[in-house]
Amino acid sequence: MEALTSLIHGFGVLGDPMNIVYMFVGIFLGVLIGVLPGLGGANGVAILLPLTFSMSPVSAIIMLSSIYWGALFGGAITSVLFNIPGEPWSVATTFDGYPMAQQGRAGEALTAAFTGSFFGAFVATLLLTFLAPVIARFALNFGPAEFFAVYLLTFCSFVGMGKESPFKVISAMMLGFALAAVGLDTVTGQLRMTFGSAELLRGFDFLVAVIGLFGVGEILLTMEEGLAFKGRSAKINLRVVLHTWKELPRLWLTALRGSIVGCWMGITPGGATPASFMSYGLAKRFSRNGARFGKGEIEGVLAPETAAHAAGTSALLPMLTLGIPGSPTAAVLLGGLLIWGLQPGPLLFVEQKDFVWGLIASIYLGNIAGLIVVLTTVPLFASILRIPFSIIAPIILVVCAVGAYTVHNALLDISVMLIFGVLGYLFKKLGYPLAPLVLALVLGDMAESSFRQAMLLSRGSLSIFWANPLVAILVTLALAMLFWPLISFVTERFGRKRPQMVPGQ
């Protein structure tokens, strides 16, 4: 009941007309970002974050989160019409979405994708509404050791649950830790790895790094691939929408399953991309029409889109309650909160109730607004893709440069952005994941601070990480996640070598 009262208060905060305007502007920009393959949710939020510095934190987070919801919606448009995933999590949508478009059912596929996205986000927002206050109250008892254990569990989960090579994940994370350590040591006041440069006293700003890694890196890769847009046109009219909505209730179990998978992968550091593939695989496994998947089955569009949007929304739960982002975009939003002087964590629900509940209320309205926007503007966004990429790419690069310069009004940041852009390009070419690097860059300082505070409290004894059942469980889970790939490898290796019993012996 307390959560409902707080949510009503949040809608009151959202009643400011300018916040509604920011929400629609954010959704429109987000859909545009989701449609353009050279950008993405994390990129768009990172590039436009400096433009929100003059806003209040509530208005800024509403606009930035709306960009994220819009990007989640927009990625489906290119997947269905052009067979080009606008976002990584939209890859699974192409499997059945594009065949449906080729069969003249593009409107039906897009309606199913948008409706599934809305349903997944709604389920995840309900989870956020009722579970976040409970987790926040529980986390009020956390000390430095408990917070470090949570950070450690987050880092190790990327190693144990990621689909990339554990060595590549650890390498990317170590680079992120090294970059986060540059500058002034907040505990001792000493300089670290500045090499005599006054410009490095403030360290590497995570926002400049993210703009380079995601925005510039993606553009360089896309330009190398010589991307060209060829696809179907689509118009969504009321008759197609109503006909599709009439068919979708029979697939309620698929939507619910996708929402559960998405919420789980959003809260843990799985993310929207593995959630969409997992949901697609489960839908194919349990569907009566599983053999027709990949040939234009509407269930194959509904499942991944529902999971992706549920994962993207639920990733805010650990970010708001514990200060642990569940996705790269949540990591960028976390950095934005720190810039605005807000400390994510359990005290945020006590000290900044207007901010938290205004954000949660905006998610409800934002997804309704997003559904309306995408259903009415598909032809407009599809026509944007007919602009040559040779024109779009320079515009995106200029926007990236403006965003990087705005952070500190320093020309050096543009050079740093370009260096990180080349690094992001190399990471993608070599198959190294960017998310662990960004996570370590954002959380490295906080994890280090929590660890050193715990060491001061225990006078240098690591036994503090097993001092009570809670911290012991978290650290044990973290170590299990860290060594899980090795355990799986050894188990599989010895299981294969086990001799087969011969009958009669």
The Cα 280–Cα 290 span in angstroms is 10
- Range with lowest mean pLDDT among 151-160, 270-279, 309-318: 270-279
Return the residue matching tokens 């990621």.
Answer: 162
pLDDT of residue 271: 65
Q: For residue 163, what pLDDT band results from cuts at 50, 70 and 90?
A: low
SS (H, E, C) 135-182: HHHHHCCCCHHHHHHHHHHHHHHHHHHCCCCHHHHHHHHHHHHHHHCC
The Cα 428–Cα 424 span in angstroms is 6
Per the structure block, which two tokens stand in for 489?
Answer: 């490898």
The Cα 333–Cα 356 span in angstroms is 13
Indicate the angle between helix axes 299-314 and 91-102, nearest 10 degrees: 150
Per the structure block, which two tokens stand in for 116?
Answer: 């599934």
Tell me how crowded residue 498 is: count the other CB atoms within 10 A of its CB.
7
Q: What is the arithmetic mean of pLDDT over 375-394?
A: 70
Report the half-sphere exposure of 173 (CA within 13 A, side-chain side): 22
- Of residues 473 and 241, more confidently modeled: 473
pLDDT digits (tens, 9 = 90+) for 244-262: 888 888 888 888 988 888 8
Q: What is the pTM of this model?
A: 0.69
Question: What residues pair up with 184 in beta bridges, in sequence order?
Answer: 191
Question: What residues pair up with 192 in beta bridges, in sequence order?
Answer: 183
Q: For residue 217, what pLDDT band results from cuts at 50, 70 and 90?
A: confident
Question: What residues pair up with 191 in beta bridges, in sequence order?
Answer: 184
Helix (H, G, I), strand (E, B) or coil at 191: strand
Asked whether the beta carbons of 95 and 283 are under 8 A apart, the reply is no
Q: What contacts 98, CB < 8 A, 6 or more positions away?
A: 79, 80, 81, 82, 83
Per the structure block, which two tokens stand in for 410?
Answer: 């320093």
Degrees to nearest 5, angle at CA 78 with 220 and 377: 120
pLDDT digits (tens, 9 = 90+) for 51-73: 777 777 788 878 887 887 787 77
The Cα 438–Cα 221 span in angstroms is 19
pLDDT digits (tens, 9 = 90+) for 365-375: 888 888 888 87
Question: What residues pair up with 183 in beta bridges, in sequence order?
Answer: 192
Q: What contacts 130, CB < 8 A, 6 or more positions away?
A: 3
What DSSP letter does each residue of 87-139 carry, written as one string? Answer: SGGGHHHHHHHHHHHHTT-HHHHHHHHHHHHHHHHHHHHHHHHHHHHHHHHHH
Looking at the chain, how many residues does it have? 505
Nearest of 344, 346, 338, 329 to residue 439 by alpha carbon: 329
- Range with lowest mean pLDDT among 192-196, 276-280, 431-435: 192-196
Q: What is the arithmetic mean of pLDDT over 2-17?
A: 74
DSSP state of 192: E
DSSP E strands, 392-502: none
Per the structure block, which two tokens stand in for 282?
Answer: 């489960």
pLDDT of residue 353: 80
pLDDT of residue 268: 67
Nearest of 123, 37, 50, 68 to residue 328 by alpha carbon: 68
Percent of the chain with pLDDT over 90: 0
pLDDT of residue 235: 60
Helix (H, G, I), strand (E, B) or coil at 502: coil
pLDDT digits (tens, 9 = 90+) for 110-129: 888 888 888 988 898 888 88
DSSP state of 83: S
